[in-house]
């Protein structure tokens, strides 16, 4: 398909319109075959509780992530179905459960903390089992986390025997915003995404890690265990 696209571009550029039209038809046909050829995830998986769906998506993503993305990954990689709204009160519920019986559960869906104020970063969900620096959001962290997640999704796709079109499409959408990752049209090439995201990650990683470690040390020093998971701020102090 890549070759076809190049041929179309060349034909259009050279003004060979009839040829370009014919090539475009072939491309459409190829895309159709590709779409049906890739196996759809097998029927609905047995009902998994929402918190477990979120847990498996976050485990795959490997970084604090916004609800929308968690839902998208759950759907295209695990065939799950969640609505964004199911995630809105999740963090609060988990905090309540943690406060009533700290550590009773093997994991909690918790907050990521901003590096400056150690307050919960708006809209992000994280796992309590992650190391503290991984749950800190410094200025560069949204970018490094985005790149890390893209790499992890791509690696996962390369491991799978068969993956849904949706999964490739999702990776394609992410890849278009990574320099050299892909043009955003059609399915992504996981190997290319890994290389491109890795290259940009190398630029930011050191500075980002520094910020995260510094803030994590501060958090470990100053925050109570519950605040380390759910952040500080007037609200949590008051309800504590």
Partner 1 sequence: MNRLDGIRGGTPGQDHNARSIAALAANPACDRRAILDAAAIDKPLLMKRLRFDDRWGQSPFAIQRNQQFTDLVKANGAAHLLRLLRELLDLPIEEAGYVNLEDVGGHEGHLARHGHTRRVIKQTAEGLGRATILDRPLLRLDVAGAQVYLEPDVIAFQLGGMFHIVAIKSFAILDDQADTPKVSAAAREAAVYVHALRDVVGRDLVSHDVILVCPKDFTNAPTATTVDVRHQLVTLARQLSRLTRIDALLDRLPEGFSLDLETLSSGEIEAAVAAIPARYAPQCLSACELSHLCRKEAHLNEQVDALGRIVRDDLGGIESVTTALRVATPGEPVADDQAEIAERLRHVARIYDEAVA
Where does this chain bind partner 1 (CB under 8 A)? 66, 68-69, 114, 116-122, 138-143, 145-146, 174, 176-177, 179, 184, 200, 203-204, 207, 211, 231-238
- The beta-carbon contacts of 96-103 under 8 Å, at least 24 apart in sequence, are 98/226, 98/229, 98/230, 99/226, 99/240, 102/225, 102/226
Q: How far is the CB of 92 from partner 1 (least distance, A)?
A: 14
Closest CA to 125 of 139, 107, 140, 143: 107
Q: How far is the CB of 30 from partner 1 (least distance, A)?
A: 21
For 116-153, letters b (16+ CB in 10 Å) and e give eebbbbeebbbbbebebbbbbbbebbbebbbbbbbbbb
The token pair that represents 62 in the structure block = 């490997």
Q: How far is the CB of 161 from partner 1 (least distance, A)?
A: 28
Pairing status of strand 124-127 against strand 109-110: antiparallel
Q: Is the Cβ of residue 149 or residue 164 nearer to partner 1 in the bound state?
A: 149
Angle between helices 67-78 and 141-159 (to 10 degrees): 10
SS3 letters for 166-184? Answer: HHHHHHHHHHCCCCCCCCC
Q: How far is the CB of 42 from partner 1 (least distance, A)?
A: 29
Q: Is the Cβ of residue 77 or residue 146 nearer to partner 1 in the bound state?
A: 146
Q: How far is the CB of 71 from partner 1 (least distance, A)?
A: 12
Helix (H) or strand (E) holding 236: helix 234-239
Q: Is the Cβ of residue 109 or residue 121 nearer to partner 1 in the bound state?
A: 121
Number of other CB atoms surrounding residue 169 within 10 Å: 15
Q: Is the Cβ of residue 23 or residue 73 nearer to partner 1 in the bound state?
A: 73
Distances (CA, A) of 23 to 27, 145, 182: 6, 39, 21
Q: Is the Cβ of residue 121 or residue 151 nearer to partner 1 in the bound state?
A: 121
Cα separation, 117 vs 151, in Å, equals 29
Q: How far is the CB of 106 from partner 1 (least distance, A)?
A: 28
Q: Is the Cβ of residue 46 or residue 207 nearer to partner 1 in the bound state?
A: 207
Q: How far is the CB of 224 from partner 1 (least distance, A)?
A: 15
Q: Is the Cβ of residue 55 or residue 212 nearer to partner 1 in the bound state?
A: 212
């Amino acid at each position: 398909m890549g070759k076809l696209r190049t041929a179309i571009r060349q034909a259009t550029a050279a003004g060979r319109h009839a040829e370009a039209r014919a090539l475009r038809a072939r491309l459409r046909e190829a895309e159709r075959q590709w779409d049906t050829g890739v196996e759809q995830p097998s029927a609905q998986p047995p009902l998994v509780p929402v918190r477990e769906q979120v847990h498996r998506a976050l485990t795959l993503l490997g970084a604090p992530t916004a609800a929308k993305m968690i839902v998208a990954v759950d759907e295209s990689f695990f065939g799950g179905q969640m609505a964004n709204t199911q995630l809105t009160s999740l963090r609060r519920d988990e905090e309540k459960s943690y406060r009533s019986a700290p550590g009773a559960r093997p994991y909690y869906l918790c907050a990521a903390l901003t590096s400056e104020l150690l307050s919960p970063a708006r809209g992000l969900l994280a796992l309590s089992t992650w190391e503290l620096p991984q749950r800190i959001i410094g200025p560069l962290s949204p970018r490094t986390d985005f790149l890390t997640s893209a790499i992890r999704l791509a690696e996962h796709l390369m491991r799978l025997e068969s993956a849904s079109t949706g999964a490739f499409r999702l990776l394609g959408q992410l890849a278009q915003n990574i320099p050299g990752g892909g043009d955003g049209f059609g399915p992504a090439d996981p190997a290319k995404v890994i290389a491109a995201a890795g290259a940009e990650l190398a630029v930011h990683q050191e500075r980002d890690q520094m910020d995260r470690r510094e803030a994590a040390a501060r958090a470990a020093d100053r925050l109570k265990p519950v605040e380390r998971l759910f952040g500080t701020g007037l609200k949590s102090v008051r309800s504590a």
